[in-house]
Structure formats: structure tokens, C-alpha cells
Amino acid sequence: MSDLEKPILFVAASREDYSAKPGGGGTPDPLVPITPGLRRQLDAQLAVVEEYAQMAGDHTAAMIVTLREAAYAKSNRPNALFARLGIPVVAARHIGELIVPAIPEGLRQLRNVVSEANTKVARFQISTIGSFSLWSAGDVLRSPEGVLTPAEVGSAIRGEHRFRLEFFPWIDSEEDFLVAELSELHVERSMGSQSRRAIYFRAETPAAVMRAASVSGVRHICIEPEFSTPSDFSSQTYLQVADGLPSELGNVPATLPTLGVLDSGVLSAALAPYVVGRIEYELPGDTDYSHGTFVAGLASAGKILNSHLAGFPDDRSKIFDAVVLPTGSIAEADLIYRVRDAVSRNPEIKVWNCSFGANEPNQPPEFGLFARELDRMSEEFGVLFVVAAGNYGSQFIRGWPAEQGHFPGDRISMPSEAVRALSVGALAPLDCFVGAGCPAPYSRRGPGPAYNCKPEVVHFGGGISDSGAVDGGVRSLLPGDGVYEGVGTSFSTPLISTIAANAWATLEASGRDVDPALVKALVVHAAALNSEAYSAEERNYYGFGVPSSSVDSMFCDPAAFTTLFAVDLERGVDWDKSQFPIPACLVTDSGALRAEIIMTLCYSPPLAEEFGDEYVQHEVDASFGSFDVDPEDPPNRKHHGLVPLERPVGADTREVAMLKEALKYSPTKVYRAKFPRGRTAEQWRVKLSLTPRKETVENVRQRVYLLVTLRGLEPDLPVYLDGVRAVPNNWLSNELVNRATIRQRLR
């Protein structure tokens, strides 16, 4: 058996793996003293909201409930109080900022509770609330710099830009709303979900936009964002390095998968054999084929065009050419329409490359409408979008380690914050202004909204000098078929896209049911295996690392043993596998496990667009550790997490810290640990636990993928073979990809 014929072991969940989730305790003590002064303060704030609510007319206003930080966690929230009073929490903005409809009767009852209620439950609920306030016009009018001003509105109108207006979820019919209240707006398109609908409109005067912002039920108004091929730094140019083409470029294996490329179009005789289809939304003359051709060349033959430079993936793809980007920029709603149309008309294509974005940072960080639309399309069509993190243009070039003063200007750009997408940053392949393998100076960084890990992975995007000139760029083709160097996250993205497309095709060829979360899990796990452990700050630039080729992500080397678990979780039920197989060669004479353990968790969660930063509705936590007899309660066993390490007493377990450091509510996580001195256990166990964000969310089944790799700390250990031998007989397991498929795809 060759080293590339050691498939990941796929383990199916069985009924015996599930158990009831431990219940919570009683009502805790108040977070702060419930003094008469506190009651008066909260009642006064409610009085202001109630007075406005009574004057709001036919449309319900919005009230912001700002929680104390100690109440950010789900278990401490006062949601039940608002639901009981008929003003349920139906939206949110930032973490700890809940939105309830300001219904006068509900507000009157809430004032009574705040002023007089004295039960233990009521006192605790009151103690969780920091303040009450109205959602005002200042909250409605949005710009990257803060509040959208009349001058900015006027400039947008003169520039013939549209505006985007989003509603709160209690607006039942925007058509009636517009006729009654916003008849001055010229609506051209509507979009979004039932819970967070949006319209795109034009206005003749700034006053009309300002009046719209004062209408109750309007959540946000902004100037419609625009998107383009990344072009906000001077080195988005190309340097010719060769006229002749590599002879290998003409070899187009029939087994190559097809990758969808949403870009400016491909114009290349050399790449024509790779282009299997095309859909055009831009006519010749209205688009610049340079960017799309360069992207397609990297996806089709990146390693060949870069002289087989170490680190470039072996994977190659055929191309479906979706010409969605014009010369210059395109408005958000128009680009979303084109992407949806292209994807829906080509259901056989499962991975789509998106080397475009907004030129501005996603700041303040939010899950933007374009990202939410990509998430919806991913779920609807069962596809994986691979999205560039964006290029950062700065007055002084960012080095590595990164200097102060760049953040948040270098934060990722929209729509790379999409939760279900795979976002990609760039590394320098050779020494330049930064060292080889370091984050490229122009590559935008995370974290994403709510501290989600974005980008998740990185690859070579080219290097630049201290003046911003190309210095060791990646190589591909331009129209005319010369070989050129270029730089940008646009060009690291197709290297990841082609890895993902090949992974998907390999799984399908082996007869597996495939979904985007599974492929994303494999690519991220390949990155984790191929990269070092990063600190939380480094993770903002590297994500979880740079993956090797998809073949290597599927098939272990002899010194590693990988299992993949596909688990369906539900509320109130945990999953675990005890008697975890430990390769004998990793166990010392004293019975201790001496190894490195790397786990990747990935799932596609239910999403609630109306909940802002709390968009992701399921948290899934994984733990690998010992499962030994509890000395305080024998013969029962107790799980002690070692990957990740259970937090010691006194560690920071506040919600913000858990979001930032432990990636709570991030649907892609990597856990890792080394035991150079060995760790002992009677049994080893892996477990998963699900926590829904709010009790009112539908109890949907959550498919979760967990990859666990055990790797030796010395070379040449027979970890794979020993791992297979150690698998318990009662495990329902088989190869993720059969060896016949491996041999076919390696030819």
C-alpha cells in the first residue's frame, strides 16, 4: 500500500453514542444589587421609550435592551421575561444588544416588573439589564465611518447611486409600508429573507432619505455597496516574465473537476481546453478579461505555471466561466442577482471561486447582506463559495510581525465574512518585504464579525516590495497567453478553490454524499495538519494555515491516523465515542499517550439574519480527553477534556472572551495539543455538545463533521497501521474514500 493509499477512517454515529445533556441549576443571585435607584433609572428609560411608542402611529418602534456583560451568555439572558410580556426578543444588533418591539401595553407591564417585582427570578432578570433605549435615526443611517450624513446622501444622489433599506422582522408587508410612508422612494429591487427584508431605491433629495430614516420599523439605510476585482493597492498590476508556455499546460486530464469562476471572464487560447462552459452578463468592451484569465490560469494549472514551486497545490480544475464582473465596479444587488442566476443554472458545479469584494474593510464588523445571500445560496443549492479576504491598501506597507496602526483598516472586506463560505488570505511565496510564508502585506485580516475566524485558510498570493511593487508574484496567464506575475488575495483564492473542487470530486467518485461543510472541514483540516499552531492574534492573519493538496487532505501519511465522525446533534442531547482507538506505537512503556492531536470541527449552522452579531444560532463544542472512573463517584466515569484543555478555576469564561479566544459560535474550529511527556488515561474519549443560541429557535438537527488526527512526535512510526488495528469492533467504520478511487485520481 502506498503512502497515498491510507484513507481517512469514516465513523458513523450509532444510537448508543447519544446521551441526555446535563441540566442546569436553579436561579442564580442577582448580578448587581437591585436598589431603588437602579429601579428608578431603568423605569425612567422605559418611560421615554413608552412615550415615543405611543406616538409612533401604525408602525411599531424598536427598543434596544443592552445587557450587562455577565448576562451575555445564553443561560443568563432575560428573554423569558420579554416573551411573557408580549414583547419577545425578535432581533439583535451587537453581542448583548437585544431588540424587542416597543408595544405600549408590553412596555407598561415591563415598567411594573422593573419598579415592583421582587421574586428571585424577577430580581435576577432585572439585574441582567444595563439600559433601555430607542432605535433612533442615528442607528438607522449607516456608513463605514459611522452615521450617514446629509452631505454623503446628497453626494450619493448626485452620483446616481442607489440606497439599501432594511426592515425589522415585524414589518409584515413592505409594499403597504412603502405606499403609506415612503412613497417618495423609487424602489428598483427587493432582496433578503422574511426576517430581514431589504429594498434598493433611488431618491431625488436627501430630505426624502432622512424622512425614511425616521419611520418606525426601518432598521438600516445605507448607500448601496459596490464590488469589483480587488484594485485598491498599486501592485494590482502584472509583470511579464515569459513568452513561452509550459508544455504541460496542454495536458488536460479528463478526470479534472469543474470549478465555477465568478469573475471578469477568460480570454486565452491556452486555457480554452479547460473552459467547459460560459455564461456572460457583460459584453466584450464592458469587461477587462485580465483578472478573470489570471484567476482561471491559477485554478487550472497553478503549479505548472509557477515552475512547480514547492507549496503550490498539485490540484487542477476545468473552468466554468461566469462573466459577472464589469470593468470598474458593480452594485451589490446586481452582482448578487448574477451570482444567484449563474449558480442556479449550473447545479452540477459545486465549488465557486469568488475573487472579488468591496474595497472597504468590513468595519464596523457585521454580517453584510451580500455575505448573508451567499450563505443562503450555499444552503439552497448545496455549493461551497471560496471568497477572497480582500486587498489592503495603506500609506505605509504592513510588515510581519504586523506593526500597530493598520487595524481595523486592514480588516477583511465584504462578502468574505460569509459563515458558510471558505475565506482565503494570502502569503508571500518568496522573501520580499516580509519573509517567505508570512502573511502578505496587502492581505486583509480577521477577525470576522462576532470574532469568527476569517480568513479560515491562506495560500500564495505573491509578494511586494516596500514601495508596493510586485516582488515575487504568483505566475499565471493574461489575454495573449504571456506568462505574467501578479499579486493579491484574488490569486491565492483559486489555489484553495481548486483544492476544494478536487476534494469534492474525489468524495463523489467514491460514492459519498457530499455537502459544503464536509469539504470545508477537509480543506481546513489539511491546513491544520500542514501548519503550526497559531496564537489567537496570528490566527487573524493565517486562519488555520495553508492546506496541502486535496489528495493529502484525504489520505494520511504513515505517521498519522485520522478519523472522521459525521454526527447529527439535537437540542438536549450530547454525543460521545469512548474507547477511542490509540495506535500502540504512540503509547509508552508506562502506558502514557505520547503524540500530537489535531481536531477540526465544521458544521453549517442555522442562521438568523435579524440577530446581527448573533447570526449563528448553534454552538457546537468538541472535546477529546480521558474518561476515567470518578474517584468521588465510582463506578461512574468522568470526562476530562485535554484537547482543548479544560479551563482551570479562575480562567476568563466571560462570553466575549469565549467568543474571541475559544471561537464560541464559530462553526469552524481547530483544536490541537501535544503530549511530549505523555498523558495517561483508562479510556480515551471524544465528545460533542450542542447549545442553541435561543430557546425559540426551531429544534433542527445539526450535522457536524469532526476530524481527529493522532500524529507521532518521531518520524517513521507506524501510526496509521496501528490505528486501524486499534479500532473497536463495535464501531461502524469504513474508508472515507476507497483505494480504487485514490488510484484513479492519482493517474
Q: Give the model confidence (pLDDT) of 52-94 as tens digits.
A: 888 877 788 999 999 999 899 888 899 999 999 999 999 999 9
* DSSP structural state of residue 531: S
Nearest to 376 by CA among 513, 193, 165, 227: 193
Q: How far apart are CA 585 and CA 417, in angstroms?
A: 42
Q: How far apart are CA 176 and CA 281, in angstroms?
A: 33
Mean pLDDT within 185-200: 85
Q: What percent of the chain has pLDDT over 90?
A: 72
Classify 557 as helix, strand or coil: coil
- End-to-end CA distance of the chain, in Å? 16
Predicted pLDDT at 237: 73
Tens of pLDDT, residues 310-355 = 999 999 999 999 999 999 899 999 999 999 999 999 999 999 999 9
Q: Does residue 725 come out as left (phi exceeding 0), alpha (psi in the -120 to 50 range) or beta?
A: alpha
Q: What are phi and psi for residue 213, nearest 5 degrees? A: -70, -20
Predicted pLDDT at 234: 46
Q: How far apart are CA 126 and CA 490, in angstroms?
A: 50
Q: How far apart are CA 41 and CA 130, in angstroms?
A: 10
How far, CA to CA in Å, does 38 sit from each of 86, 115, 189, 660? 24, 9, 47, 31
Predicted pLDDT at 309: 93
Mean pLDDT within 657-665: 87
Determine which of 156-160, 167-171, 248-252 has the lowest per-residue pLDDT on average: 167-171
* DSSP structural state of residue 258: E
Nearest to 58 by CA among 204, 180, 237: 180
Predicted pLDDT at 740: 65
Q: What are phi and psi for residue 435, nearest 5 degrees? A: -75, 160
Predicted pLDDT at 232: 47
With a CB cutoff of 8 Å and minimum separation 6, the contacts of 397 are 433, 441, 464, 466, 467, 468
Tens of pLDDT, residues 691-727 = 998 755 567 889 999 999 999 999 889 999 999 999 9
* DSSP structural state of residue 601: E
Alpha helices in 329-486 (DSSP H): 332-344, 369-381
Classify 210 as helix, strand or coil: helix
**What residues form DSSP beta bridges with 607?**
616
Nearest to 540 by CA among 633, 653, 458: 458
Classify 183 as helix, strand or coil: coil
Q: How far apart are CA 578 and CA 731, in angstroms?
A: 10
Nearest to 166 by CA among 211, 226, 220, 210: 220
Predicted pLDDT at 332: 96
With a CB cutoff of 8 Å and minimum separation 6, the contacts of 145 are none
Predicted pLDDT at 235: 46
How far, CA to CA in Å, does 201 sit from each of 18, 170, 187, 404? 51, 21, 4, 40
Say if CB 375 and CB 430 are below 8 A apart: no
Say if CB 263 and CB 324 are below 8 A apart: yes
- Cell numbers linked to 742: 485514490
Whether 519 has a pLDDT exceeding 70, the answer reads yes
Tens of pLDDT, residues 61-71 = 999 999 999 89
Predicted pLDDT at 686: 96
Q: What percent of the chain has pLDDT over 70?
A: 94
Measured torsion, CA atoms of residues 396, 402, 404, 406, in degrees rounded to the nearest 10: 50
What fold is seen in the domain 140-224?
Answer: Alpha-Beta Plaits (3.30.70)
Tens of pLDDT, residues 631-655 = 888 888 889 999 987 664 455 567 8
Mean pLDDT within 552-567: 86
The most distant pair of C-alpha atoms in the chain lies apart, rounded to whole Å, by 83
The strand order across the sheet containing 258-263 reads 275-280, 318-323, 258-263, 351-354, 384-388, 422-427, 457-460
With a CB cutoff of 8 Å and minimum separation 6, the contacts of 72 are 95, 96, 654, 655, 656
Nearest to 451 by CA among 693, 660, 669: 660
Nearest to 446 by CA among 357, 544, 369, 312: 544
Mean pLDDT within 251-261: 95
Q: Helix crossing, 104-116 with 36-54: angle to 10°?
A: 170
pTM summary value: 0.95
**What residues form DSSP beta bridges with 261?**
321, 353
How far, CA to CA in Å, does 481 sit from each of 270, 421, 517, 536? 6, 31, 36, 42
Whether 658 has a pLDDT exceeding 90, the answer reads no
Q: How far apart are CA 130 and CA 128, in angstroms?
A: 7
Nearest to 98 by CA among 89, 107, 88, 106: 89
Query: Rounded mean pLDDT of the chain?
Result: 90
Q: How far apart are CA 56 and CA 48, in angstroms?
A: 13
What fold is seen in the domain 239-551?
Answer: Rossmann fold (3.40.50)
Write down how long the chain is.
747
